[in-house]
A and B are shown apart, each in its own frame.
Chain A
Amino acid sequence: MTTTATTTTLGRALNEGLRQAMRDDERVILLGEDIAALGGVFRVTDGLAAEFGDRVVDTPLAESGIVGTAIGLALRGYRPVCEIQFDGFVYPAFDQIVSQLAKMRARSRGLLRLPVTIRIPVGGGIGAVEHHSESNEAYFCHTAGLRVVACGHPQDAYDMLRAAIACDDPVIFYEPKRRYWDRAEADLARPVDGDTLGHARVLREGADATVVAYGPAVAVALGVAEVAATEGRSLEVLDLRSLSPLDTTELCRSASKTGRVVVVHEAPVNVGLGAEIAATVMEHCFYDLEAPVERVGGYNVPYPPARAEGDYLPDLDRVLDAVDRVCAP
Chain B
Amino acid sequence: MSPDSGAAPAADRADDVLRLVDPAGTLNERAAAGMLDVTGELVRGLYRDMALGRRFDQEAYALQRQGELGLWLMSLGQEAAQAGSIRALRADDRVFPSYREHVAALCRGIPPAELLSQWRGASHGSWDPERYHFHIYSLVLATQTLHAVGYAMGVRYDAADSVVLTYFGDGASSQGDASEALNWAAVTSAPIVFFCQNNGWAISTPASKQYAGPLSERARGFGLDAVSVDGNDVLAVHAATRAMAERVRAGGAPGLIEAHTYRMSGHSTSDDPKRYRDHAELARWEAHDPVERVRLLLTARGWADEDYFATVASEAEELAARTREECRALPEPSLSDTFRHTLCEETEALRREREGFETYLESFL
Contact = CB atoms under 8 A, between A and B. Distances in A.
B124 A107 contact: yes
Contacts of B111: none
Nearest to A106: B341
Contacts of B128: 108, 111
Contact of B177 (A64, A77, A105): A64
Interface residues of A, number: 47
B143 A109 contact: no
A63 B281 CA distance: 40
Given A103-B124, A105-B341, A68 B180 contact: yes
B349 A68 contact: no
Contacts of B187: 60
Contact of A64 (B154, B180, B340, B342): B180
B136 interface: yes
B149 A69 contact: yes
Question: How would you classify the secondary structure of chain B's contact residues: helix, strand, loop or mixed?
Answer: helix
Contact of B148 (A29, A60, A72, A92): A72
Given A69-B184, A72-B154, A107-B125, A198 B347 contact: yes
A278 interface: no
B146 A71 contact: yes
A118 to B, nearest CB: 14
Nearest to B164: A72
A184 interface: no
Interface string A213-256: 00000000000000000000000000000000110110000000
B344 A168 contact: yes
Interface string B118-130: 0000011110111
B350 interface: yes
Contacts of B340: 110
A76 B184 contact: no
B349 A248 contact: yes
A123 to B, nearest CB: 25
B158 interface: yes
A111 B340 CA distance: 12
Contact of A72 (B123, B149, B176, B337): B149
A197 B243 CA distance: 48
Interface in A22-45: 29
Contacts of A246: 349
A58 B183 CA distance: 14
Contact of A73 (B130, B153, B183): B153
A5 interface: no
B154 A73 contact: yes
B174 interface: no
Nearest to A95: B140
Contact of B180 (A65, A70, A248, A249): A65
Contact of A77 (B154, B181, B184): B154
B89 to A, nearest CB: 17
B87 to A, nearest CB: 23
B183 to A, nearest CB: 6
B284 interface: no
A252 B350 CA distance: 17
A12 interface: no
A109 B129 CA distance: 12
B147 interface: yes
Given A68-B181, A147-B343, A168-B344, A108 B136 contact: yes
B139 to A, nearest CB: 9
A129 interface: no
A113 interface: yes
Interface in B100-138: 123-126, 128-130, 135-136, 138
A75 interface: yes
Interface string A258-289: 00000000000000000000000000000000
A68 B177 contact: yes
Contacts of A50: none
Interface string A79-118: 0100000000000100110011001011111111100000
A99 B140 CA distance: 8
A144 interface: yes
A78 B154 contact: yes
Contact of B147 (A100, A107, A110, A169): A100
Contacts of A71: 146-147, 150
Contacts of A124: none
B136 A96 contact: no
Contact of B140 (A100, A109, A112, A145): A100
Interface in B332-365: 337-338, 340-344, 347-350
A75 B147 contact: yes
Given A59-B184, A72-B154, 18 more contacts: A60-B184, A60-B187, A65-B180, A68-B177, A69-B150, A69-B153, A72-B151, A75-B154, A96-B143, A96-B177, A99-B140, A100-B140, A100-B143, A106-B338, A108-B128, A109-B341, A112-B129, A145-B342
Query: What are the 8 A-B residue pairs with the smallest beta carbon separation, nearest first?
Result: A72-B150, A68-B146, A76-B154, A69-B150, A72-B151, A110-B341, A65-B180, A245-B349
Interface of B: 96, 123-126, 128-130, 135-136, 138, 140, 143, 145-155, 157-158, 176-177, 180-181, 183-184, 187-188, 337-338, 340-344, 347-350
